[in-house]
Structure 1
Amino acid sequence: MPTTSLLDRFLDGLTPLRPRAVWAHGSLAGGDYQEGRSDLDLIAVLPGPVGLGTVRRVVALHRRLRTVPLAAKLHCSYLTPAGLDDPDRSHLTWAHGQVMRRPVTPVTRRELHDFGRVLHGEPPAGLLPAVPERQLNDFVVRDQRDYWRPAVDKARLWRQDVWVDLGLLTFARATVTLRDGRLISKREALDELVPLGAPAELVADITRRRYDDHPAPAAEDWLTRRAELTRAYLAPAIDTLVTTYG
């Protein structure tokens, strides 16, 4: 299985950095992983400060993996024990073929506690502080209000599959988290969308592209209509969610 082979090579290459733990979150841990379509979302906890030498070794590791199948979908944030308790702190991250810095959000932290998959070393509960409900909910509301709602007004984005998929699925997942106090997978989020008032044809479109073996490319007129439907649904839906839980 290409995924298993890639993870084995990644963990082997990470050995010289002496990680205390390597965890998977997202679909790989949550039971909705689609090989070749889903990202491989990982967290590595290194034993000490991440200096320039460590950055160079991390970059070299990911560059060595570039020719391995699925490597482009492997994303990993590198934490240290000193930074585990701060969800706003940015960490060295390899994603989308480049090095960057970004935080490990309260949603990711809760995923790790609820269903994180241990690939190496200590479990999340032994290293990562618990996520209070208020902290999780505040983050979810802020993400919908400050990131997704302004994005809805940028019409050019919504002709792209990734914006339609993530916009709708993230909204459904946010709603369930705020309403029920639990995290759900993208597969479960699809089942929530129609009851939440999303147009059934949008949900069918996402389902087809995520789960059909060979989905046909979308026609130009559908891309235009899909963008209009998505924006018309999400704008008031997000506004109502933020008003209700903000």
Structure 2
Amino acid sequence: MMANLKKTGIPAELIPLMDDFARLLRERVPHLFHGLYLQGSIALGGYQSMKSDIDFIAVLNQPVLSEDDIASIHAVHEELRMKHPFHLAAEGLYTSLAHLSKTAAADIESFPKLFHGGTRALQSGTIDATSAWILKHHGVAVAGPESSALEITVEWDEIRSQMDYNLNVYWANKAERAELFMDEEWIEFAVLTLARIVHTLEHRDILTKLDAGYLVLEKQPNERRQRVIREAIRIREGTGGSIYGTELERALDVQRFVRQVIAECNAAYRF
């Protein structure tokens, strides 16, 4: 029986979308469907309407999909896109029980991935370590067994390795481009994401970016870095005007913050 969505912690505005999503999967690919789950900000209690992504993971019973199965799944999302405006914020992928337990051979598989409401190139159903961790410990079941009943194999070393990549590949590259931080969306994304990485490494737990921002701010003795974090929180919450005099000054402070966090994490965790 489908979960009563009003009791699962799913925001009320998303219940019609998620109800139809689960129903259509059961109707169109009943031989595949095992469960539908939410992770990300919804699972962590930090969903913000019109800002947060709707991060989902659909779990299937088998690790190899036929072309007909894939076409049926694409049709599900096309119907959802036409009916539900919030589908534009949906982001997620399909995986299998075998992928979650790491017993699948990813090189022979194709699964649909959804990015902001549109299906993209097919790929392996293996999910990244952070998403697997959130699903295992905080996942919200839209339909199917609770996420705690899934045999999800994810070790802390995998999370640590992903943080290393995020810092020393993704953010190290972005740190060389100060012009990115002239954009408020990039400021919020960079500062609060790095705050979450800091908290994750220190506490072995994953919070929303906003919660992590507040916690790192509380322990931050440097006034210049406090200012950067407060500005990112202000942007995320949509309150007031900038606390900076110029956009250039702000961009350079954000760039400095990114570089400093990368260096400090490398020193502390021996990346």
Q: Normalized against structure 1, the TM-score is what? A: 0.87
Task: Measure the CA separation in 1 of the matches of 2:206 and 2:243.
Answer: 34
1:75-95 Cα offsets, whole Å, 9 max, x none, are 121012232234995853111
Gaps of 5+ in 1: none
Counterparts of 1:3 and 1:217 in 2: how far apart (Å)?
A: 30
Shift of 1:222: 4.1
- Counterpart selection for 1:153 from 162, 172, 176: 176
**Relative to 1, partners in 2 of residues 1:163 and 1:47: Cα closer, same or farther, differing over 3 Å?**
same
- Tell me if structure 1 keeps the 8 A contact 2:213–2:229: yes
Of 83, 86, 91, the match for 1:70? 86
> 2-side partners of 1:207 and 1:233: how far apart?
14
Q: 1:57 to 1:231 in 2, by over 3 A?
A: same
What's the CA shift string for 1:175-209, capped at 9, x where partnerless?
A: 12211211112221121343345633333333233
Alignment correspondent of 1:201: 227
Structure 1 window deviating more from structure 2 (104-113 vs 222-231): it is 222-231
Correspondent of 1:98 among 114, 119, 125: 119
| Corresponding position: 1:134 with 2:157 | yes
Over 3 Å counting, the alpha-carbon distance change for 1:182 and 1:92 in structure 2 is: same
Task: In structure 2, list runs of 5 or more residues that go unmatched.
Answer: 1-11
Q: Distance in 2 between matches of 1:148 and 1:224?
A: 19
May I ask how many residue pairs the two structures share in their alignment?
A: 244
**Identity among equivalent pairs (%):** 21
2:213 is matched with which residue?
Answer: 190
Q: What is residue 41 of structure 2 aligned with on the other side?
A: 27
Deviations 1:81-138 (A, max 9, x none): 2322349958531112232337511111111121111111123333333322222212
The one-letter code matched in structure 2 to 1:227 is A
- 1:50–1:80 contact (8 Å) kept in structure 2: no
Q: How does the TM-score come out when normalised to structure 2?
A: 0.79
Distance 1:128 1:230, change over 3 A: farther
Corresponding position of 2:22: 11
